[in-house]
Amino acid sequence: MIGIYFSGTGNTRYCVETFMRKYKDNSETYSIEDDNIESYILKSHEIVFGYPVQYSQIPKYVKDFIDNHADLWKGKHIFVIATMGLFSGDGAGLLARQLKQYGATIVGGLHLKMPDSIGDEKALKRPLDVNKELVISATHRIEEAVMNLKMGQPSQVGLGFFYHLAGLFGQRLYFYNKTKKYNDKLKIDISKCIGCGKCVELCPMKNIDLKAGVATSHHQCTMCYRCVNNCPTMALTVLGKTVIEQSRIEKYL
């Protein structure tokens, strides 16, 4: 078994790595951005696949990855982990349904509430101690899920008809178009940008370049919030106008 994930600020990476470590020492975990990810998936029959929910949807980057590697999923047994800042209803079910289209068998699902990565929206920010408690709680839930999986009774959170309805009417119907296309709202305050290139290096979409020593966007953002949460001068925003807090998993461990 291997773990694979897409992660913006480290929440999903932490959850998948913790799951795999609890399941088996020295287990392997990879980002779907890894240059060798296709070969890792091909060699593995059992996979734990983690991703962060956006607007009760799959990030466009993750959806495209699955579609572009359709031949990889046939015959795979997959356990889905969905991380979220709020409520998704059927986060695991979303990914499960897409993978099943390509012949995967979904063995289980798990939802984990984690610190919100959207650093430029004040309404979504929580106190530091609350975020630390979220991570502790998620870790306990991971331990329980691993134990159940080993006993042959994998968690089914997010899978099934009623979870589907909860996700659909709870949020997805109202934000259906939010992740249908890549986002063009990434804003860069050139008065703050120091041209360090960190955002260029971190962006999974290669959406940011340096021109004349200043970062510039190509309007193909997958809203992972890496750039917003790692910029040393807080020069980038996506949904809001000002960075309220830079949220990275390391702050909460």
How many beta carbons lie within 10 A of that of residue 188, not counting itself?
A: 18
Kindly state whether residues 58 and 160 are assigned to the same domain.
yes
Q: Which residue has the tokens 């909460």?
A: 252
Kindly state whether residues 152 and 222 are assigned to the same domain.
no
Per-residue pLDDT at 79? 98
Kindly state whether residues 244 and 230 are assigned to the same domain.
yes
- Cα–Cα distance, 7 to 11 (Å, whole number): 7
- Exposed e or buried b for every residue in 92-118, given b needs 16+ CB within 10 A? bbbbbebbeebebebbbbbbbbbbbbb
Q: Name which of 158, 67, 76, 59 is nearest 110 in CA terms.
A: 158
Per-residue pLDDT of the chain (253 residues; tens, 9 = 90+): 999 999 999 999 999 999 999 999 889 999 999 999 999 999 999 999 999 999 888 999 999 999 999 999 999 999 999 999 887 788 899 999 999 999 999 999 999 999 999 999 998 889 999 999 999 999 999 999 999 999 999 999 989 888 878 777 776 666 667 778 899 999 999 999 999 999 999 999 999 999 999 999 998 999 999 999 999 999 999 999 999 999 999 999 9
Last residue of a domain, one of 129, 150, 178: 178
- Residue ranges of the alpha helices (H) in 25-59? 37-42
Give the total number of structural domains in the chain: 2
Kindly state whether residues 166 and 244 are assigned to the same domain.
no
Kindly state whether residues 187 and 240 are assigned to the same domain.
yes
Kindly state whether residues 68 and 131 are assigned to the same domain.
yes
Kindly state whether residues 141 and 234 are assigned to the same domain.
no
Last residue of a domain, one of 135, 153, 178: 178
Q: Up-side HSE of residue 209: CA atoms within 13 Å toward CB?
A: 5
How many beta carbons lie within 10 A of that of residue 55, not counting itself?
A: 17
Kindly state whether residues 115 and 21 are assigned to the same domain.
yes
Kindly state whether residues 37 and 50 are assigned to the same domain.
yes
| Continuous segment of H or E residues that includes residue 2 | strand 2-5
Say if residue 66 is exposed, middle or buried (CB neighbours under 10 Å; 0-12, 13-18, 19+): buried
CATH code assigned at 202: 3.30.70.20
- Cα–Cα distance, 49 to 79 (Å, whole number): 6
3-state secondary structure 180-244: CCCECCCEECCCCCCCCCHHHHHCCCCCEEEECCEEEECCCECCCCHHHHHCCCCCEECCCCCCC
Reduce the DSSP state of residue 98 to 3 states and report it: helix
Q: Name which of 71, 80, 77, 75 is nearest 5 in CA terms.
A: 80
Range of the domain at 219: 180-252
Per-residue pLDDT at 173? 67
How many beta carbons lie within 10 A of that of residue 46, not counting itself?
A: 14
Kindly state whether residues 153 and 205 are assigned to the same domain.
no
How many beta carbons lie within 10 A of that of residue 221, not counting itself?
A: 24
Kindly state whether residues 125 and 235 are assigned to the same domain.
no
pTM for the model: 0.94
Q: Both tokens of residue 59?
A: 């990030």
CATH code assigned at 141: 3.40.50.360
Q: Name which of 54, 51, 58 is nearest 7 in CA terms.
A: 51
Kindly state whether residues 35 and 140 are assigned to the same domain.
yes
- Cα–Cα distance, 229 to 196 (Å, whole number): 15
Last residue of a domain, one of 115, 149, 178: 178
